[in-house]
Amino acid sequence: MIQLGELVMILDWHRQGMSVSAIARQSGLDRKTVRKYIQRGLEAPAYGPRKPRQTVIDPFTGYLRERVSAFPGLTGSRLFREIKEHGYAGGYTAVTDFLREIRPTPSSSFEVRFETAPGLQAQVDFAQFQVVFADEPTTPRIVWLFSLVLGYSRLIWARFVLHQDLATVLRCHVAAFEALGGVPHEVLYDRMKTVVTGETSPGGIIYNRALIDLARHFGFHPKACRPYRAKTKGKVERPFRYIREDFFLARSFRNLEDLNRQLQHWLSTVANPRVHATTRRVVMEAFAEEHPFLRPLPLAPFRSVLRLERRISRDGMVSVGGNFYSVPDATRRRVVEVHTLADEIRIFEEGELIGAHPVLEGRHQRRVAPGHRKSFPAPQRREAKVAPVGRTGDVVAQRSLAFYDAVARHLARETRA
């Protein structure tokens, strides 16, 4: 096959009027070959199929397909971290490009984003997760994720809990504020029953009294989002999806404590040090700017009280929040008053404090306080009175008194003699 330049030269000579023989002599080709190229004219050269070149991500495409098939919601950043642990040396873009081929991005409508000033707002909500703990492999559990997200920096504080009761909501708020080292000026809520107890016309909100006590103590303003406007809280609801897809899926947990331990590690090493997709800033760096604008923590601890009446069980326990706390054996009444604080359970009999316990996490836990159960002295063994035992082989003979009198008279006669 001749080169493209030679073909162009042959055709040019032919257009200039040179004969086939002259072109053959000039080019050194056979006349049949010259005639063939003149008849064919100028065509694009035909090349064979190019052998595909292996890319850096090719060895990992099977793993990625398998993971996406098993867990379609896994994020690209999560999968990128996983294949890096398996030796992948390429970039993040190659991963996302491949994921778009096997998992097309669904179209969505545009949303209006509301940005907030530093320290102004945090958003709070719960999300439901189902998990099977390794300690209870046959029992699926429903757990709830409490999440607080700062509006400016997007810093996430989160904790898994077993229920959404008011005491749990208060404890999570206190723990979140202490972890942040400050308090936002307002907290935005969905219309959770533990937060909003009713409405007044037109559009007024009635908040739970204990939440009002919490807000007054820490100095923040509670704010409920408008009905049917869930996107008002997008900063929280989007992190729920992020936590589910980047942290929760395809992991195993021994129990609730292990679940929260892994969550805190992920928050401190992945979620909060990342570059946020919307703000394009490192979350922790933005939080360092936001922290001075938070309200300072109050000096006194939060002591709001929920008052309950509880009946004492036959084994001397009262049930609070699904857990059991002891009362002293000397308790006379069968019904006592229980004060539930954010971090403590106090038990009163006729106005007198008879027991105090730290709040137990989870359900079906039991705690018996020191001193609530009488300790009876162990029974002492009575030692049997045993007569002295003579030495083996000693024999004592028994004789009448007349025998001894006769012996005495015999000894007396021998003495006189």
pLDDT digits (tens, 9 = 90+) for 331-357: 999 999 999 887 889 999 999 999 999
Per DSSP, the three-state class of 280 is: coil
What does the DSSP 8-state code read for residue 95?
H
Distance CA 13, CA 15 (A): 5
Distance CA 344, CA 330 (A): 22
- Which residues neighbour 335 within 8 Å (Cβ) at sequence distance 6 or greater? 309, 310, 311, 312
Residues 72-123: pLDDT tens digits?
878 888 999 999 998 998 889 888 888 888 886 665 554 545 678 999 999 9
What does the DSSP 8-state code read for residue 75?
-
Sheet holding 121-132, edge to edge: 156-161, 140-150, 121-132, 186-189, 221-224
User: Taking residues 219-240, what's their average pLDDT?
Assistant: 70
DSSP 154-193: --EEEEEES---HHHHHHHHHHHHHHHTSB-SEEEE---T
Highest mean pLDDT among 60-64, 185-189, 204-208: 185-189
Q: Output the pLDDT for position 110.
A: 46
Radius of gyration for the chain, computed over Cα atoms and rounded to the nearest angstrom: 44
Q: How far is CA 304 from the centre of its chain?
A: 27
Which helix or strand (DSSP H or E) is residue 309 part of? strand 306-311
Residues 126-167: pLDDT tens digits?
999 999 999 999 999 999 999 999 999 999 999 999 888 888
Distance CA 4, CA 31 (A): 18
Number of neighbouring beta carbons within 10 Å of residue 318: 23
Q: Output the pLDDT for position 215.
A: 95
Whether 385 has a pLDDT exceeding 60, the answer reads no
φ, ψ (nearest 5 deg) of residue 224: -95, 135
